[in-house]
Amino acid sequence: MKKYIVQSSLLICILLAAIAMRPFKATRIIFFGDSITEGGVKPGGYIQLINQKLAATGDSANYELIGAGIGGNKIYDLYLRMDEDVLAKKPDVVVVWVGVNDVWHKASYGTGTDANKFEKFYTAVIKKLQAQGISVILCTPAVIGEKNDYSNQQDGDLNAYSSIIRRLADEYKCRLCDLRKIFVAYEVKYNPDNKESGILTTDRVHPNAKGSELVASSLLEVLKK
């Protein structure tokens, strides 16, 4: 009996030592999107701010944040480049934030993405990521114009495309950062003069310092769930 106890104790020690010797692996998170995400890695950008917040709480070593944003990208651009820009880097988590150009370019260039095609490509992106065991976080497009009375030209489409993303998040069990809802609520509260920009954006679309802070705080809350 004594010999059995000694052997069991030795085995437990060996197992604990093996676990302790395994190399630590930070959670690799890729932020996949358009020019907003491209700017997110720059000083003051939302990805840099998330890094700073993690550092402030002593958590920065637990996460590796990678930006994969390209200006002008729409959902099908993300689908076409995901093998090289995302899957090849073997992330644990991918944050998908796209949709502004799919809506915006319909009016400005006639090259946007119809809602049915947007949903099909978005679904394909989610499925391909999840097939690799990657955790997926979806973000709704925030604003194209900051008027708080729903009089911005693209408000209707933004709401419709955001509804698609919310439904896909529910269907495919993805975490959701509802930036559309968060930004609109902020504008209602802090844009009493109904300004078109300058509250959370520099140009009606791209976040300014306050906008980047709001994105960073909102995303970090979802990431830590």
Task: List pLDDT tens digits, range 15-33.
Answer: 444 334 445 589 999 999 9
- The predicted-structure confidence for 190-205, as pLDDT tens digits, reads as follows 999 999 999 999 999 9
Residue 1 has pLDDT above 60, yes or no: no
Longest dimension (CA), the chain: 81
| Sheet of strand 135-139, all strands in order from the earlier edge strand to the far edge | 63-69, 27-33, 93-97, 135-139, 175-177
Is the pLDDT at 118 greater than 70? The verdict is yes
Q: What is the mean pLDDT of the chain?
A: 91
How many CA atoms are closer than 13 Å to the CA of 39, on its beta-carbon side?
A: 17
Which residue type sits at 155? D
